[in-house]
């Protein structure tokens, strides 16, 4: 993988760049739709590619390991062949999902034992077998196996957790470097910087990750219950340490405002389930603010969902119609809102890129943040 830093905003740490993988180029900053089980819920690959203009999507190691399983993925020739997506894919390591199973998992030095959320069966993830699993899934960018402590963790817990994550990271790097990709194209491994909300731990984690000289770095363990001010502060602390010439990926974040604030602090890559999950519940993000389409005020509003929207759904369907679909539990309602929201998120990062390149990002961001925080 190759990363080229293109422009930096004069009044913030925002930057544009270009990532090159064997499955294509990615312009940064970029938002990556989440395709947990190999599918972005309710959205065809054609819509992702041609309408939403997604340049890269995510898959989830934990979920894909359980279903359809590694045997099927290997027989298919990897996730790209299995789901018909020809552009880049990133997989997370499953660490966050295992962390989410607090009642059903046990951490040891060797790895994490957990019970499947599907049938209760026992499984064991280690840094080594998670690297092997992601080799089999075949994503272009893969993540190290880590523990993700809650945002409210004590200093002592966070310190011990980070030390375990760092030992696991070294094992991930060793395993990755002694194995080969399976499907004839290259893969790259991103370490994940943890450390909860503690400056010294985040600095220690970033310095350790940077010392391993990988092609990109992820910032994990944020948006997991800590105040938003702490999240922004930790991004600043980490990005002071991480190499300027490598991409930085903020995992699992966030709202449109979060994304603009993180871009201004030097983050290049984002993913979040919010556009689709909230979309399925009738929340629509627009350039003028957020709509709860379930509200009575929209029941006879026949204007387009978003007059400024870039997706075909924005001009083809009215607010009243989409409200009717969501209220009636019709699948099409969830689908329309998901497609709109994803297209909006991709529009937002494209606009950010244009303003960074033009040197006007900081002033544009201030205006946008106020608009995006508005409830319509």
**Planar angle of CA 195, 220, 262, nearest 5 degrees:** 105
- How far apart (Å, rounded) are the C-alpha atoms in residues 207 and 213? 10
Catalytic residue positions, numbered: 92, 271
Cα separation, 299 vs 279, whole angstroms:
17
Binding residues, by number, are: 92-96, 146, 194, 221
Nearest to 59 by CA among 93, 27, 87: 93
- Residue 238 has what pLDDT? 98
Q: pTM value? A: 0.97
> Which stretches in the chain have pLDDT values below 50?
none
Mean pLDDT across the chain: 96
- Reported as a single tens digit per residue, the pLDDT across 165-214 is 999 999 999 999 999 999 999 999 999 999 999 999 999 999 999 999 99
- The confidence score (pLDDT) of residue 97 equals 83
Supply angle C-alpha 79, 172, 59, rounded to 5.
Answer: 25
- 108-147 burial, b for 16+ CB within 10 Å, e for fewer? eeebbebeeeeeeeebebbbbebbbbbbbbbbbbbbbbbb
Q: What is the pLDDT of residue 150?
A: 86
The residues, any chain, with a CB within 8 Å of residue 315's CB and separated by 6 or more, are: 304, 309
Q: What is the DSSP string of 204-232?
A: HHHHHHHHT--S-EEE-S-SSSS-HHHHH
pLDDT in tens, 43-55: 999 999 999 999 9
Q: What's the rounded Cα separation, in Å, for the pair 136 and 130?
A: 10
How do residues 10-19 score in pLDDT, each as one tens digit?
Answer: 999 999 999 9
Instruction: Please give the C-alpha separations between residue 78 and each of 30, 140, 186, 277, 292, in angstroms, as whole numbers.
Output: 24, 11, 13, 26, 38
- The architecture (CATH level 2) of 2-272 comes to Alpha-Beta Barrel (3.20)
- 114-124 pLDDT, tens digit per residue, is 999 899 999 99
Binding residue positions for substrate: 92-96, 146, 194, 221
pLDDT at 24: 98
- Confidence at residue 101, expressed as pLDDT on a 0 to 100 scale: 75
Task: For tokens 């966050």, name the residue.
Answer: 96
Q: Which two tokens stand for residue 104?
A: 């059903």
């Amino acid at each position: 993988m190759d990363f080229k830093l293109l422009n930096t905003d004069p009044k913030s740490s925002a930057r544009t760049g270009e990532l090159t993988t064997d499955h294509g180029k990615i312009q940064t900053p970029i938002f990556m739709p989440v395709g947990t089980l190999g599918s972005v819920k309710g959205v065809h690959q054609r819509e992702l590619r041609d309408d939403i203009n997604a340049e890269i999507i995510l898959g989830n190691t934990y979920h894909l390991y359980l279903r359809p399983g590694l045997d099927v993925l290997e027989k298919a020739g990897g996730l790209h062949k299995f789901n018909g997506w020809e552009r880049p894919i990133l997989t997370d390591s499953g660490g966050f999902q295992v962390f989410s199973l607090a009642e059903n998992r046990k951490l040891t030095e060797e790895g994490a034992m957990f019970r499947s959320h599907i049938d209760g069966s026992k499984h064991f993830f280690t840094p080594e077998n998670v690297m092997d699993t992601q080799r089999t899934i075949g994503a272009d960018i893969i993540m190290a196996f880590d523990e993700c402590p809650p945002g409210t963790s004590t200093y002592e817990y966070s310190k011990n957790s980070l030390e375990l994550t760092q030992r696991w990271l070294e094992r991930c790097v060793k395993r990755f470097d002694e194995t080969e990709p399976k499907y004839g194209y290259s893969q790259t491994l991103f370490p994940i910087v943890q450390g909860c909300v503690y400056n010294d731990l985040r600095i220690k984690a970033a310095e350790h990750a940077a010392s391993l000289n990988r092609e990109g770095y992820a910032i994990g363990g944020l948006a997991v219950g800590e105040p938003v001010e702490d999240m922004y502060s930790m991004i600043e602390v980490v990005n002071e340490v991480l190499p300027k010439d490598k991409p930085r990926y903020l995992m699992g974040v966030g709202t449109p405002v979060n994304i603009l604030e993180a871009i201004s602090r030097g983050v290049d890559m984002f993913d979040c389930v919010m556009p689709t999950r909230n979309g399925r519940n009738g929340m629509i993000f627009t350039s003028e603010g957020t709509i709860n389409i379930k509200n009575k005020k929209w029941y006879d509003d026949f204007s387009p969902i978003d007059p400024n929207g870039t997706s075909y759904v924005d001009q083809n369907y009215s607010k009243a119609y989409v409200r009717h679909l969501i209220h009636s539990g019709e699948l099409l309602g969830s689908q329309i809102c998901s497609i709109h929201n994803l297209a909006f998120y991709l529009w937002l990062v494209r606009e950010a890129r244009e303003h960074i390149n033009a040197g006007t990002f900081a002033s544009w961001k201030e205006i946008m943040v106020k608009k995006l925080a508005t409830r319509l």
